[in-house]
Amino acid sequence: MRILAALLLALLGALAGPARAIDADHAAWTALLERHVRWNAEGTATAVDYDGFASDRAALKAYLDALSTVPRAAFDAWPEPQRTAFLLNAYNAFTVELVLTGWPEITSIKDLGSLLRSPWKRRFFVLLGEQRHLDDVEHRLLRGAPSFNEPRIHFAVNCASIGCPALRPEAYVAARLEAQLDDQTRRFLRDRTRNRSDAAEATLHVSPIFDWYGEDFERAAGSLEAWLATYAAELADVAEARARIGRGAVGIDWTDYDWRLNGAR
């Protein structure tokens, strides 16, 4: 019996150990981000120092390995904000790793794909016990969760492109996730290269993200116009335009998406 008990304790320790490798604050990821990511002057976008990440590849790999060792059972037992923060950090960290596989020759993350397979379909890492690609994390684990109703995650996942919302220079953490998602959203909507109001035409020009994932915003607010109305102050600089957006009395058009790499050279 003593031998059986010892084996059981060893098994439990093996299962619990990997889960402890990721602390609740994802401090290792924050340390990397603070060294290699910078906000622009307006605070609406960031530039990523991929040379710096490349020089810190061992630290990045250690963090990615820690992510990969978390068992699905441990993940499922976490509160929802902790699961969401974990997945957002995993998506962003593995995206940086993917870019580094082609850096510095590539000018876009799309250069890492092909006619037959997009870069987001490359299975190059293990997460929650399965070999995965980035689309798995975004569409199956985040958007595919039964309780999913949080379109602001689209401003937190970063696709390594200028057109994408900023790679935040800190990890997402459960205790501050609501504030972080709100801040990410407002910063992105204030970026006039990606979202702007044309008061003369009564047209709101917004990122194609709102087209690609329109159903998520409709589910959260009833319609895309209703969701955008809550952020009228961020979307327009003129009072008249803000009032029109707030009433939902605007046409919606899509801005161009810039797939160039968000790297600082």
DSSP per position, 9-48: HHHHHHHHHHHHTS-TT-HHHHHHHHHHEEE-TTSS-EEE
Q: Residue 14: how many CB atoms within 10 A of its CB?
A: 10
Contact by Cβ (8 Å): 172, 26: yes
Give the rounded percent of residues in the chain with a pLDDT score beyond 90.
87
Q: Does 30 have pLDDT greater than 80? A: yes
CA 141 – CA 134 distance, rounded (Å): 10
- Residue 4's pLDDT is 39
Average pLDDT across the chain, whole number: 92
Question: For 203-247, what is each residue's pLDDT tens digit?
Answer: 999 999 999 999 999 999 999 999 999 999 999 999 999 999 999
* In the chain, alpha helices (H): 2-20, 27-36, 50-55, 57-68, 72-77, 80-100, 134-135, 177-189, 209-212, 214-221, 224-229, 232-235, 239-247
- pLDDT for 201 equals 82
8 A C-beta contact, residue 111 and residue 102: yes
| CA–CA separation, 9 and 217 (whole Å) | 46
pLDDT given for residue 37 in this prediction:
98
> What are the tens digits of pLDDT across the range 110-154?
999 988 899 999 999 999 999 999 999 999 999 999 999 999 999
CA distance 143 to 54: 30
Structure tokens at 182: 């709100």
